[in-house]
A and B are shown apart, each in its own frame.
Chain A
Amino acid sequence: MKYFIKRTGFMALTLFAVCALTFFLMNVIPGGTAELILKHTFVGLEESVTEEQLSQISSRYNLDDPLYLQFFRWIREAFVTGDIGTSYVFKKPVLYLLALRLPATIQLAGTSMALAAVAGVSLGIYSALQENRTSDHILRIITLFGVSMPGFWVALILILIFSLKLKLVPVLGYGSLENLLLPAAALSLHSAAAVMRVTRTSMLETLGQEYIRFAKAKGLPIWRIISRHAFKNAMLPVVTVIGFQMGSLLGGTVVIEKIFAWPGIGSLLVDSISARDLPVVQGCVLAIVTMFLLVNFLVDILYTRLDPRIRYG
């Protein structure tokens, strides 16, 4: 329990640090904030802006105040009223935008993670059992491919094959299972490959242990050895990798969401950065970091269950 409180405290601290960092970094990157907001909302990307317009926008969003004051105001609002700002571009409260967009990203990242975990672990075990046979080599080549191919390219190839050639699923859309399949598959490929590689290595190592040899000597069938004795011991590094993959999955959504016009926060974040839509950037970063922290918290708890020797003070 004590550990739980301590951990939550750390998470809150991390969130605060991330917010502060995002806020100041956004103001450090080149280009005037007011100018870019104008270009993305009123005047068009290439058009020039007048002093008058700049001052109108600056005063509307208090952009001329010192940075620490702007940040302090944002933090105070967030704590006192729970309001984390209103988008300059969408002209809607950030919380409303997040509520709309977050489910789509959770859905996409969650499904991808499930796909990556299930496919990665089962193929990894299979590959370990088939060590150095043809099917193992084939699988390892496929994973090499999976780790090396950029997500956007895989996405386009998947659309080409499954939508245009086989006519199985639509290119675009959001809401139904068939819409989810391609983006989730494209997104999970990289993670599935990573999980599989770790599972294979870890499984091979475990299978070389003496207690496994003993179990074999006892005459236990192989599936029983795997499920009872090897699996749990081999899972420790795998769970770590799955936790870390959450980060790369959330990063991957940025590209995948753009390609599939998926209404998640990844595409929202990119657009908001180039438009200097600061409140939205803050909101998205906050949401993404929270998700990442939660998943890794979950992973740490899983550790103690997988390996009872691990105890958190």
Chain B
Amino acid sequence: MKKKNYPLLILLVTLLSYAMLVTSGCSSTKGNETGEVVSEPNNTLVLGEMWDIESINPINGDGTLICEKAAITETLVGASEDFSLNPGLATSWKQLDENTWEFKLKNNVTFHDGSKMTAKDVKFTLEKVISENSKVASMLKVDSIEVVDNYTLKIKTKEINPILPGVLHYPDTAIISPSTYNEKGEFVKPVGTGPYKFESFDDQTRTLTVVKNENWWGGKVGLDKMIIKGIPDPNTRAMAIENGEVDFTVDVPYSETDRIDALDGINVEKFKTPRVYKLDLNLKHEPLEDVRVRQAMSYAINRSEIAENVLYNVGEAAAGPFLPTMVWANKSLKPYNQNLEKANELLTAAGWVDTDGDGIRDKDGKPLKLNFMTYSARPGLPPMAEAMAAQLKEAGIDVETEVMEMGSIDDRKEKGNWDLYLAAYNIAMVPDPEYILTNWYTTNGTDNTPGYSNPKVDSLITEARKITDLKERYKKFNDVEAIVYDEQPMIIVAYYGCAIVKKDSVKGYVFDPTAHDYRINADMYLEK
């Protein structure tokens, strides 16, 4: 009997050692890979990217990665620091009539596959992206694209669309060579014109490797190679750069930025990105439809304290929906300063007084109680919600915060059973104010979550749409900004920041405020 059982014990031991074998087997086959990374030439940069790299299709939603972070592709239109447009792969563009635009292209640009970039390739890219990416299609509103000559292109839109050049700055519209696809039309790899060429994408570890494009039209490229790894956990990103495993990363936990900056050999820089922390107020609910309550709430919030103590200065107190550095921003607006006296006056005038002495205001026997939802995909949001709830409580408003999953938030928004919603919205998906102001503040705007409606705002935006003179156009938009500043249908709390963490040996990096997260510039290099 005893003997009979021995083989089974052996089996157990074998099974356990099997697990070990699996691992050691892997170490012998893949060990070289890690060894290789160490023995790479000095001019290879390892980048710790903030999102998991899911796919690398530049026109199908991964444009930000391929165009801005990996610098494989480039867009027709560029943008400068103040978000005004400047030439990219297109040298110039003009509006021929209401619905027709003419784009002139650079004539010295070659793709990574060696072919020259012509108007035909641009037409190919734009048509492909319009058919596969409905978001871009809805922004471009293109009717037809006509190749005039090798370097001239005519684009007809279905309706007047002044933001067309701005949309062509959007990374998903970056120009790709037809060799990005095989004969069957299947996606193979991104082939662009940028400073870095696609080398490989490891499907298993989801690591993207790009190498220097020796023939880049823009001149010298700083790095020989860049290895981009998705590290979704902010704590892990912090420890990876501390341990020297990545050279460049972004958004370590905000509370860690100062500690990491103080370390030898690593520096942290904080920038503003085109995104704002915005509190939507449900104007269909009784207390919030009163403009005085909304203003009082804005006065109750201490924006600079939030920026300093919640965001650790990765971000800044905000006045309006646009960064003051944007060329079209209304620069006369200043952030609401916390003023509890004013908040008290406004709320009292609106009829909300604390009659039962419980610290919460009430009216007709109903307490001033609001629910507050947010999500956790962006680390600043949940603590910010808590801080705001505490500040609102000081003004006698009872706020209950809930951190929820995106699906549940959408569901609540649809059903209307919400009061406050804190989110981080992009404000320059397209470098033009029309897109945001239309979506946020017009009566039928797609992102008009609060349900705000002001005929004056609607007409100002409609009028601006027909004006081609930028100064005149921006004046109308400034008026819109001033109106919504007074009426506060959404409380803009802070500008979204980005912490760039890099080793001191990384030189020549220039932050591009128009990038959607961050952009890797061609000049960046490693110092030995």
Q: Do A and B come from one complex?
A: yes
| A residues whose Cβ falls under 8 Å from a Cβ of B | 29-32, 35-36, 38-39, 41-50, 52-53, 56-57, 89-92, 100-101, 103-104, 106-107, 110-111, 113-114, 117-118, 156, 159-160, 163-164, 167, 170-180, 228, 232, 258-261, 263, 267, 271, 274, 276, 298, 302, 305-306, 308
Min Cβ gap B323→A in Å is: 17
Tell yes or no: B22 within 8 A of A by CB. yes
A184–B341 Cα distance when bound, in Å, is 57
Given A91-B57, A164-B242, answer yes or no on A42-B235 (Cβ-Cβ < 8 Å).
no
A114–B17 Cα distance when bound, in Å, is 8
Given A31-B405, A43-B135, A101-B204, answer yes or no on A175-B54 (Cβ-Cβ < 8 Å).
no
Min Cβ gap A12→B in Å is: 24
Min Cβ gap A310→B in Å is: 13
A111 touches B19 (CB 8 A): yes
CB neighbours (8 Å) of A179 from chain B are: 34
Given A31-B406, A258-B233, A274-B406, answer yes or no on A160-B239 (Cβ-Cβ < 8 Å).
yes
B229 touches A175 (CB 8 A): no
Tell yes or no: B337 within 8 A of A by CB. no
B30 touches A175 (CB 8 A): yes
- B54, B235, B377, B407: which contacts A30 (Cβ < 8 A)? B407
A36 touches B410 (CB 8 A): yes
A53–B60 Cα distance when bound, in Å, is 13
Going nearest first, the 3 A-B pairs with the smallest beta carbon separation are: A31-B407, A175-B30, A110-B19
CB neighbours (8 Å) of A176 from chain B are: 26-27, 30-31, 34
CB neighbours (8 Å) of A308 from chain B are: 1
Measured as residues with beta carbon below 8 angstroms from the partner, the interface class of chain B is 35 or more
A197–B119 Cα distance when bound, in Å, is 72
B203 touches A100 (CB 8 A): yes
Given A42-B135, A258-B232, answer yes or no on A232-B54 (Cβ-Cβ < 8 Å).
no
Min Cβ gap A38→B in Å is: 8
| B residues whose Cβ falls under 8 Å from a Cβ of A | 1-2, 5, 8, 12, 15-20, 22-24, 26-27, 29-31, 33-34, 52, 54-55, 57, 60-61, 133-135, 137-138, 187, 203-206, 229-233, 235-236, 239-240, 242-243, 245-246, 375, 377, 405-412, 423-426, 429, 439, 446-447
A32–B411 Cα distance when bound, in Å, is 8
A234–B231 Cα distance when bound, in Å, is 44
CB neighbours (8 Å) of B439 from chain A are: 48
A39–B246 Cα distance when bound, in Å, is 29
A261–B133 Cα distance when bound, in Å, is 29
- A53, A104, A163: which contacts B138 (Cβ < 8 A)? A53
B27 touches A261 (CB 8 A): no
A111–B26 Cα distance when bound, in Å, is 13
- A172, A174, A232: which contacts B245 (Cβ < 8 A)? A172
B16 touches A261 (CB 8 A): no
Given A39-B406, A259-B235, answer yes or no on A175-B134 (Cβ-Cβ < 8 Å).
no
- B22, B233, B410, B425: which contacts A35 (Cβ < 8 A)? B410
A267–B52 Cα distance when bound, in Å, is 10
Given A50-B138, A305-B8, answer yes or no on A171-B240 (Cβ-Cβ < 8 Å).
yes
CB neighbours (8 Å) of A43 from chain B are: 61, 135
A274–B410 Cα distance when bound, in Å, is 13
Min Cβ gap B245→A in Å is: 6
Min Cβ gap B492→A in Å is: 14
B138 touches A42 (CB 8 A): no
Given A114-B19, A175-B26, A302-B12, answer yes or no on A52-B138 (Cβ-Cβ < 8 Å).
yes
A111 touches B20 (CB 8 A): yes
A175 touches B33 (CB 8 A): yes
Given A89-B54, A172-B229, answer yes or no on A163-B134 (Cβ-Cβ < 8 Å).
no
A133–B232 Cα distance when bound, in Å, is 45
A32 touches B410 (CB 8 A): yes
B407 touches A263 (CB 8 A): no
CB neighbours (8 Å) of A174 from chain B are: 30, 204-205
A173 touches B134 (CB 8 A): no
CB neighbours (8 Å) of A178 from chain B are: 27
**Residue in A closest to B409 when the chains form the complex, CB atoms:** A31
Min Cβ gap B465→A in Å is: 18
Min Cβ gap A300→B in Å is: 13
- B1, B133, B377, B447: which contacts A45 (Cβ < 8 A)? B377
A164 touches B408 (CB 8 A): no
A171 touches B236 (CB 8 A): yes
A89–B243 Cα distance when bound, in Å, is 32
Min Cβ gap B424→A in Å is: 6
- 28 pairs across A/B with beta carbons < 8 Å? A31-B405, A32-B410, A36-B407, A42-B135, A44-B426, A44-B429, A47-B135, A48-B446, A50-B138, A52-B137, A56-B134, A57-B134, A91-B60, A101-B204, A107-B19, A107-B26, A111-B19, A171-B245, A175-B34, A179-B34, A258-B233, A259-B233, A259-B236, A261-B230, A261-B231, A261-B236, A263-B206, A274-B407
A30 touches B424 (CB 8 A): no
B55 touches A36 (CB 8 A): no
